[in-house]
Amino acid sequence: MRYSGLKVITEGLFGNKGWTPAWRDPAPKAEYDVVIIGGGGHGLSTAYYLAKNHGITNVAVLEKGYLGGGNVGRNTTIVRANYFLPGNSEFYSHSMKLWEGMEADLNYNVMHSQRGLINLFHSDGQRDAFVRRGNAMINQGDDAILLDRDGVRELLPYLDYDNTRFPIYGGLLHPRGGSARHDAVAWGYARGADQRGVDLIQNCEVTGIDVEGGVVKGVQTTRGAIRAKKVAIIVAGRSSQVAAMAGMRLPIESHILQAFVSEGLKPVINHVISFGMGHFYISQSDKGGLVFGGDLDFYASYAARGNLPMVEHVMEAGMTLMPMIGRAKVLRSWGGIMDMSPDGSPVIDKTHIEGLLLDCGWNYGGFKAVPASGWCMAHLMATGNSHEYASKFRLDRFATGHLLDEEGTGSQHNLH
Amino acid sequence: MRLTCPLCGERDRREFYYYGAEDYLHRPAEGASLAEWDNYLHLRDNPAGMTKDLWYHEAGCSQWLLVTRNTVTHAIAGVELVAERKTEQKAGRAK
Ligand SMILES: Cc1cc2nc3c(=O)[nH]c(=O)nc-3n(C[C@H](O)[C@H](O)[C@H](O)COP(=O)(O)OP(=O)(O)OC[C@H]3O[C@@H](n4cnc5c(N)ncnc54)[C@H](O)[C@@H]3O)c2cc1C
Ligand SMILES: [Zn+2]
């Protein structure tokens, strides 16, 4: 079924009785050409582009829970292309272009809103670093505008500009940055993949990976064994457990990241604002809730909930930046399990086992990457070669020293 | 979450700095292969369940601690001084 404004109106007039499920609920077949483990944003977009770009449709996505129940439905939805390292820059730039065409391509409203992202700076040194970043973004063909203090004040009059510890010197505005509705992104890719013949199989946990003579043969699941010519592990925070089923030890440590949403308010924050020095960022959803978060809890964890010290820290940072939000009530908080890599950048690569591929290490920034990750992973699976935009996301780069340390903090698990 | 430091007693999580998995205690010998260094520096078991990791009692006694804990429930099963462990290992080796 194609969605359109006309369809919404006619369905509304006739009691909304004509809607059909957005995807099928098939039983797993005994064999597929490709099995994708993980029905998050990256698994679903990989399935979609395998079908759309490469005509590979004998594909199953195996999800242990429900589609979109992982990080793709738990993140704070910032979409941006403001990376500067060669390797990251072109990848996120490509992702941004895919975002801009996503709704038309998927025939699905993902509420992508390019409301502008503003990263604040608080010193001369930080300004220099932001000028450099802005130039890198422009060189990549994307957009960046340096705002001085008055420029930021015009857009965000409600910030505390005279904070003694971090007075606001200005900000880097990324006009094409913004947000989107996270669930809709998962649902849109799921529907698009299903329409092209991909089987989306929920409540199907992969419990083993079958390897014979160095070649992948299929997977064991809670719904039986499934043979496959190729298997992709795309399970974000659970990457280490699933890779261990194939005897692999990954450069990943799983950490918890929390987020918060307030009660619904009238429109007040029109941009996405990031206050890096306070480890705080905020935007307002279309429903009116203030969506905000901070840093990791900073220890390895698989509890999809965080601890109180980080709750306190985030609230303090928010109050410091914009005291007005103190009057809003927090409605909910939650956590997601992040696949942290030592250098803060991802992996899209083959493994030493033939036919077994890996897409992981998205840290706390993999939502914006959903389209390009699927695009490049599908390319790798279909052609056997890395896509030019993902050619540096190698699994062996830690051993060889070809790191992608965007933050410049070092290649160690607790530094990103 | 609270950790019971063997020297200082039960303290708030904020007093401690988290360093990472126990792997850091097993530094390869000089001249070890690239694979061994990669294994030590980057590759992790990253278990969902019981794990051992290193914490530094930054706002307390400045000791390195080896904490046994559950990554799913955040329950703490034990906290040892790394220094004592090292002394034991040395004594063990001397025998
Ligand atoms: C609080 C928070 C805020 C964030 N904010 C942002 C942001 O503003 N911008 C941004 O770009 N990124 C953000 N992120 C990061 C982003 O959400 C993730 O990097 C990204 O969603 C991870 O990829 P995914 O969608 O495929 O993961 P997931 O949705 O977690 O998908 C993995 C799936 O694999 C399934 N799975 C696991 N094990 C198995 C198994 N054995 N068998 C079958 N299925 C299995 C899981 O159930 C899950 O559904 C944030 C994350 C969090 C938690
Ligand atoms: Zn102590």
- Predicted pLDDT of residue A206: 98
Cβ atoms < 10 Å from Cβ of A128: 11
What average pLDDT does range A289-293 have in this prediction?
A: 98
Q: Is residue B92 part of a domain?
A: no
B95 pLDDT band, cuts 50/70/90, is: very low
Complex ipTM value:
0.93
Q: Find chain A residues with C-beta within 8 A of B18's C-beta.
A: 298-300, 414
**How far is it, in rounded angstroms, from Cα A271 to Cα A71?**
23
pLDDT digits (tens, 9 = 90+) for A16-43: 999 999 999 999 999 999 999 999 999 9
- Predicted pLDDT of residue B94: 52
**How far is it, in rounded angstroms, from Cα A144 to Cα A136?**
9
Residue among B23, B38, B42 with most chain A CBs within 10 A, to mutate:
B42
CA–CA distance from A192 to each of A38, A49, A57, A63, A235 (Å)? 17, 9, 12, 17, 20
Q: Is residue B75 part of a domain?
A: yes
Chain position carrying tokens 């369940």:
B49
Beta-carbon separation of B44 and A240 below 8 A: yes
- Predicted pLDDT of residue A306: 87
Contact between A279 and A313 under an 8 Å Cβ cutoff? The reply is yes
**How far is it, in rounded angstroms, from Cα A7 to Cα A368?**
29
| CATH code for position B78 | 3.30.2270.10
What average pLDDT does range A86-103 have in this prediction?
A: 98
Beta-carbon separation of B51 and A241 below 8 A: no
A321 pLDDT band, cuts 50/70/90, is: very high
Pairing of strands A280-284, A224-233: unpaired
Chain position carrying tokens 């995807």:
A23
Judged against a pLDDT cut of 70, whether residue A126 lies above it is answered with yes
Q: Is residue B16 part of a domain?
A: yes
What average pLDDT does range A125-136 have in this prediction?
A: 97
Q: Which residue of B has its CA nearest to A298?
A: B18
Domain assignment of residue B26, given as a range: 2-84
Q: Is residue B91 part of a domain?
A: no
Contact between A362 and A42 under an 8 Å Cβ cutoff? The reply is yes
User: Global pTM?
Assistant: 0.97
What average pLDDT does range A87-102 have in this prediction?
A: 98
Q: Is residue B54 part of a domain?
A: yes
Which residues have beta carbons under 5 A from ligand 2 (an ion)?
Answer: B 5, 7-8, 57, 60-61
B92 pLDDT band, cuts 50/70/90, is: low
Sequence-distant (≥ 6) Cβ neighbours of residue A160 within 8 angstroms: A168, A320, A321, A322, A323
Judged against a pLDDT cut of 80, whether residue A274 lies above it is answered with yes
- Our answer on whether the CB atom of A78 is closer than 6 Å to any ligand 1 atom is yes
What average pLDDT does range A179-196 have in this prediction?
A: 98
Tally the residues of chain A. Answer: 416
**How far is it, in rounded angstroms, from Cα A375 to Cα A45?**
7
Q: What is the dihedral of CA A383, A101, A339, A177, to 10 degrees?
A: 140
Domain count, chain B: 1
- Our answer on whether the CB atom of A37 is closer than 6 Å to any ligand 1 atom is yes
Percentage of chain A exceeding pLDDT 90: 96
Q: Is residue B55 part of a domain?
A: yes
Q: Is residue B89 part of a domain?
A: no
Cα A39 from chain centre? 13
Judged against a pLDDT cut of 50, whether residue A169 lies above it is answered with yes
Secondary-structure percent of chain A, ordered helix, strand, coil, rounded to 5: 35, 25, 40
A416 pLDDT band, cuts 50/70/90, is: confident
Q: Is residue B62 part of a domain?
A: yes
pLDDT digits (tens, 9 = 90+) for B12-70: 999 999 999 999 999 999 999 999 999 999 999 999 999 999 999 999 999 999 999 99
DSSP string over A273-308: EEEGGGTEEEEE-TTSEEEEEEEEEEEE---SS--H
The two tokens of residue B87 are: 């002394």
